[in-house]
């Protein structure tokens, strides 16, 4: 038994997402092995997860972590970055938090109009203006691979490090090559909304043995085994219980990504007939995991704003999100010190953030749920005037 039931009663909310958990029997049999040995952390299941992922991504070293955020914090620390780091603002705020926890300055660059990933030209502009940048931190947003070749060329040209927050992108491909093999290091998340689920977890992936070693010690307080650390590490270990779930989930990864891409095709074939809905561009040779399906709702053409539509969908028992709105530089934690002064440089980020709406998607989603969401959005468009008036009335004066 796994959780692949799609049954949703008509009065139930259609959730924004659902984790696809591995079959319970399989999970239990892995746990039984743990109970026999008593080794619930630092054990063989973590090693197996690391070996499988390293092989899957292609000749990289993987280091399992307690979560992606802490993996990023450690990777940045292990790379010895100084000064400032360029990153997108159109991301989940954990990307930027990982810099702040290392005492680094986040410098937000703009995104590409179509892919919604870091725009190399905007990164270059920052690099031309500032001499204190030690790295570029790209994000494969929603699983869509960054323009890795261009970012790698910039990192080489300016002799700085390149790393990726690959939280969404385990199984994504850039020109046929698996994400996880780019830059100095990439870090994945294994939390419940991600392509591989460990309940909580993360994985750092790198081609550099020295860096992998530092990460292995780093997740273990910096202890190399002699209790005389030379590196200020953390406790960032993935437990064996989490690894047991990750291993079962990993077996379903290819099937899940294939199904998510089919779900997106079905969404696209209906929604692209409605004026004012735009999609994220995935480059032809690339593959996205579609961790999220985010669309743009263009107010004029669609007939109402993104906010009005999400309000209406909630009333129609369809749960949505606004990823990423506000963008990180406009959040309270970042605005005064790191956001305000960059705001004028972030035109595309600001515009896209106003229109984004992330629709329900999960790895075992049935076609009739997709059809129901599309029909509801179509009806909203056709009766936009009425809904917009109701929405405005619902707003506080
Ligand atoms: C882009 C991005 N980075 C980092 C994280 C943090 O991942 P974790 O929850 O594994 O720490 C997330 C979580 O959703 C994310 O979306």
244, 277: one domain: no
Residue 340 lies in a domain: yes
Q: How far apart are CA 321 and CA 142, in angstroms?
A: 13
- Distance, CA 95 to ligand 1 centroid (Å)? 7
Position with higher pLDDT, 397 vs 336: 336
Alpha helix segments (H runs only) across the chain: 24-37, 44-57, 68-79, 94-100, 120-129, 148-157, 209-218, 240-250, 253-271, 299-302, 306-315, 347-355, 367-382, 384-394
Phi-psi label, residue 107: left if phi above 0, alpha if psi -120 to 50, beta otherwise: beta
Could you tell me what percent of the chain has a pLDDT over 90?
Answer: 96
Q: What confidence tier does 356 reach under pLDDT thresholds 50, 70, 90?
A: very high
Q: Which atom of ligand 1 is nearest to the CA of 191?
A: 10
Residue 14 lies in a domain: no
Q: Does the pLDDT value for residue 363 go beyond 80?
A: yes
214, 338: one domain: no
Computed over every residue of the chain, the mean pLDDT equals: 96
The tens digit of pLDDT for each residue in 95-136 reads 999 999 999 999 999 999 999 999 999 999 999 999 999 999
Each residue of 311-335: b (16+ CB within 10 Å) or e? bbbeeeebebbbbbbbbbbbeeebb
137, 239: one domain: yes
Instruction: State the first-to-last Cα distance of the chain, in angstroms, to the nearest integer.
Output: 51
Mutation test residue for ligand 1: of 76, 89, 170, 189, the one with most atoms within 8 Å of CB? 189
CB-ligand 1 contact for 370 (6 Å cutoff): no
CB-ligand 1 contact for 202 (6 Å cutoff): yes
- Distance, CA 381 to ligand 1 centroid (Å)? 33
Residue 382 lies in a domain: yes
Closest residue by Cα to atom 16, ligand 1, is 92
273, 178: one domain: no
CB-ligand 1 contact for 167 (6 Å cutoff): yes
Q: Which atom of ligand 1 is nearest to the CA of 94?
A: 4
CB-ligand 1 contact for 142 (6 Å cutoff): no
CATH number for the domain harbouring residue 354: 3.90.1150.10
Residue 96 lies in a domain: yes
262, 202: one domain: no
- Distance, CA 96 to ligand 1 centroid (Å)? 11
- Distance, CA 92 to ligand 1 centroid (Å)? 7
Supply the pTM of this predicted model: 0.96
**Count of structural domains, the chain:** 2
Q: How far apart are CA 254 and CA 103, in angstroms?
A: 38
Residue 320 lies in a domain: yes
- Distance, CA 67 to ligand 1 centroid (Å)? 8
pLDDT of residue 397: 78
Q: How far apart are CA 276 and CA 384, in angstroms?
A: 12
Q: Which atom of ligand 1 is nearest to the CA of 95?
A: 3
Please report, for residues 51, 130, 158, 276, 350, the alpha-carbon distance to residue 127 in angstroms, rounded to integers and kept in the order given.
Answer: 36, 5, 8, 36, 21
DSSP type of residue 135: E
CATH number for the domain harbouring residue 134: 3.40.640.10
182, 171: one domain: yes
- The angle that helices 240-250 and 24-37 make with each other, rounded to 10 degrees, is 150
Q: What confidence tier does 12 reach under pLDDT thresholds 50, 70, 90?
A: confident
The contacts of residue 56 (CB under 8 Å, 6+ apart) are 178, 250, 253
Burial class of residue 348 in the structure, from the number of CB atoms within 10 Å of its CB (0-12 exposed, 13-18 middle, 19+ buried): middle
Q: How far apart are CA 16 and CA 277, in angstroms?
A: 19
Residue 146 lies in a domain: yes
- Distance, CA 93 to ligand 1 centroid (Å)? 8
Q: Tell me which of 197, 226, 250 is where a domain ends.
A: 250
92, 226: one domain: yes
69, 82: one domain: yes
Torsion of CA 30, 35, 36, 40, to 10 degrees: 80
pLDDT of residue 347: 98
Q: How far apart are CA 92 and CA 95, in angstroms?
A: 6
237, 357: one domain: no
pLDDT of residue 8: 56
Q: Domain range holding 321?
A: 253-394
The tens digit of pLDDT for each residue in 333-352 reads 999 999 999 999 999 999 99
Q: Which atom of ligand 1 is nearest to the CA of 71?
A: 11
228, 82: one domain: yes
Q: How far apart are CA 326 and CA 36, in angstroms?
A: 48
Question: Which residues face 294 on adjacent strands?
Answer: 358
Structure tokens at 148: 């890795």
For residues 338 and 108, the answer to whether their CB atoms sit within 8 Å is yes
222, 309: one domain: no
Q: Does the pLDDT value for residue 44 go beyond 90?
A: yes
- Distance, CA 51 to ligand 1 centroid (Å)? 22
The tens digit of pLDDT for each residue in 55-109 reads 999 999 999 999 999 999 999 999 999 999 999 999 999 999 999 999 999 999 9
Q: What confidence tier does 1 reach under pLDDT thresholds 50, 70, 90?
A: very low
Q: Tell me which of 217, 250, 283 is where a domain ends.
A: 250
Q: Tell me which of 250, 279, 295 is where a domain ends.
A: 250
Residue 282 lies in a domain: yes
Structure tokens at 348: 């595309």
- Distance, CA 194 to ligand 1 centroid (Å)? 9
Q: What mean pLDDT do residues 216-234 have?
A: 96
343, 305: one domain: yes
Q: Does the pLDDT value for residue 54 go beyond 90?
A: yes
pLDDT of residue 304: 97
Mutation test residue for ligand 1: of 89, 167, 194, 237, the one with most atoms within 8 Å of CB? 167
Residue 373 lies in a domain: yes
CB-ligand 1 contact for 189 (6 Å cutoff): yes
Q: What confidence tier does 248 reach under pLDDT thresholds 50, 70, 90?
A: very high
The candidate with the shortest Cα–Cα distance to 99, out of 64, 126, 69, is 69
Burial class of residue 11 in the structure, from the number of CB atoms within 10 Å of its CB (0-12 exposed, 13-18 middle, 19+ buried): exposed
* H helix or E strand, kind and range, residue 162: strand 161-165
């Amino acid at each position: 038994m796994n959780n692949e039931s799609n049954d949703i009663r008509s009065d139930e909310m259609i959730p924004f997402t659902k984790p696809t958990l591995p079959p319970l029997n399989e999970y239990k049999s892995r746990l039984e092995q743990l109970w026999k040995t008593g080794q619930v952390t630092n054990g063989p299941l973590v090693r197996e997860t690391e070996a499988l992922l390293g092989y899957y991504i292609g000749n990289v070293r993987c280091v399992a972590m307690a979560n992606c955020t802490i993996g990023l914090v450690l990777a940045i620390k292990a790379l010895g970055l100084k000064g400032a780091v360029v990153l997108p603002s159109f991301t989940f705020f954990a990307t930027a938090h990982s810099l702040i926890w290392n005492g680094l300055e986040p410098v937000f660059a703009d995104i590409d109009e179509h892919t919604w990933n870091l725009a190399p030209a905007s990164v270059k502009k920052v690099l031309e203006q500032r001499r204190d940048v030690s790295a570029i931190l790209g994000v494969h947003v929603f699983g869509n691979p960054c323009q890795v070749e261009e970012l790698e060329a910039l990192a080489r040209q300016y002799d700085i490090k390149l790393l990726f927050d690959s939280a969404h992108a385990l199984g994504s491909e850039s020109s046929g090559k698996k994400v996880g093999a780019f830059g100095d290091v990439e870090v994945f998340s294994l939390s419940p909304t991600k392509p591989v689920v460990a309940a909580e977890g993360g994985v750092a992936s790198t081609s550099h043995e020295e860096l992998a070693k530092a990460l292995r010690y780093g997740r273990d307080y910096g202890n190399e085994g002699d209790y005389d650390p030379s590196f200020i590490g953390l406790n960032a270990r993935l437990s064996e219980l989490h690894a047991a779930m990750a291993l079962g989930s990993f077996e379903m990864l290819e099937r899940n990504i294939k199904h998510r891409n089919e779900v997106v095709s079905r969404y696209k074939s209906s929604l692209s007939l409605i004026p004012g809905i735009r999609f994220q561009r995935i480059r032809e040779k690339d593959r996205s995991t579609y961790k999220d399906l985010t669309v743009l709702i263009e107010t004029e053409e669609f007939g109402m704003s993104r906010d009005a539509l999400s309000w209406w969908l909630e009333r129609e028992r369809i749960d949505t999100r606004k990823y990423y709105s506000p963008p990180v530089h406009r959040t309270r934690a970042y605005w005064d010190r790191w956001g305000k002064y960059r705001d004028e440089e972030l035109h595309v980020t600001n515009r896209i953030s106003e229109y984004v709406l992330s629709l329900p998607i999960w790895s075992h989603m049935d076609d009739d749920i997709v059809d129901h969401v599309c029909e509801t959005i179509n009806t909203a468009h056709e009766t936009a005037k009425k809904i917009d008036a109701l929405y405005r009335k619902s707003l506080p004066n």
